[in-house]
Amino acid sequence: MGEMAEDRIYADRRGKADVYVGSPLGLTLVAVSDDRVGRFRLLRRGAVRDVATGDGSILIGTDEDIYRSTDGGDSFDAAGFGPAVAVGFDGDPIAADPDGAVARFAVAADEWQHLGSVDGARAIDGAWLAADDGVYRIGEGGLEHAGLQTARDVAAGGAVLAATADGIHRYVDGEWTTERSVDVRAVASDGTRAHAVGPDGLYEYDGTWGRRESPIDEPIVDVGYAGGIVAVTDAGTILVDPAASKDGAEGWRTRSLGLEDVSGLAVADQ
């Protein structure tokens, strides 16, 4: 991991986005600037189960507690939740523990407030939660089961999408529609774009779902948006497909971070 101490920042920081990558080693910050993967460094040691960003904060779930940073990762404070397998933001932090208990941190009361329980929480995005027993909508008063028998991930950036072992599903007017029957483990959407990843690679939505070729033979585990598309592999390689490149060249840019068993990524508010 010696490379992570090197200064890899580029002088032109136009279009810079901070990407946070979780792994058993800890939380790594990666600076993505336009079409380049710039500086990366380890912010905090210790296995990260999940990572989320929102309200100018970074939230990480670990086997000991949830830790929150409000200064870009320079320092982290324990949130007093205990072990967490999924974290997210819907105005306030939301988290799920290994037993399926889900809670929201009420800032005014300075305490975690129980919302309900699920079987095997997997992921949180905004007011939605994916679990082994389906997808839930998170409300002020608790959890409402919104359908599907099981879900691995949920994305709520515009269209609500769910990833399962048998397909990519879209939620519209209280109903789920299977848009492609394929094994996927993660989904992302931002209102104009949507992507999913699974054992067979990356999928992209452009009216219909189609395969998007990856430049490397490593399983992609998560995908998001930092101007362009940003993805990370299980083996710790960052892939960037820029919205626009300085040299006009199209296609993926990649860089190995020297990590293993990556759990996921989150992009800072832009």
Say which CATH number the domain at 138 has.
2.130.10.10
CA-CA distance, 47 to 84, in Å (whole number)? 11
Say if residues 59 and 89 touch (Cβ distance below 8 Å): yes
Single out the residue of 187, 194, 115, 110 nearest to residue 148, CA to CA. 187
Q: Name residues whose C-beta falls within 8 Å of residue 110's C-beta, 6 or more positions apart in sequence.
A: none
CA-CA distance, 53 to 264, in Å (whole number)? 12
Identify the band that residue 9 occupies on the pLDDT scale cut at 50, 70 and 90.
Answer: very low
CA-CA distance, 149 to 119, in Å (whole number)? 11
Distance of CA 49 to the CA centre of its chain: 11
Identify the band that residue 8 occupies on the pLDDT scale cut at 50, 70 and 90.
Answer: very low
Say if residues 57 and 37 touch (Cβ distance below 8 Å): no
Q: What is the pLDDT of residue 249?
A: 58
pLDDT digits (tens, 9 = 90+) for 138-163: 998 899 999 999 999 999 988 899 99
Asked whether the predicted pLDDT for residue 3 surpasses 80, the reply is no
End-to-end Cα separation, the chain, in angstroms: 28
Name the domain count of the chain.
Answer: 1
Token code pair at residue 146: 């919104």
Q: What is the pLDDT of residue 10?
A: 39
Identify the band that residue 233 occupies on the pLDDT scale cut at 50, 70 and 90.
Answer: very high
Other C-beta atoms closer than 10 Å to the C-beta of 151 total 28
Predicted structure pTM score: 0.90
CA-CA distance, 70 to 54, in Å (whole number)? 10
Residue 242: give the domain boundaries: 2-267
User: Which residues sit opposite 36 in a β-bridge?
Assistant: 33
Instruction: Output DSSP code: residue 197.
Output: E
pLDDT digits (tens, 9 = 90+) for 160-175: 999 999 999 999 999 9
Single out the residue of 7, 78, 16, 72 nearest to residue 41, CA to CA. 7
Single out the residue of 189, 84, 69, 38 nearest to residue 128, CA to CA. 189
Single out the residue of 207, 209, 135 nearest to residue 175, CA to CA. 135
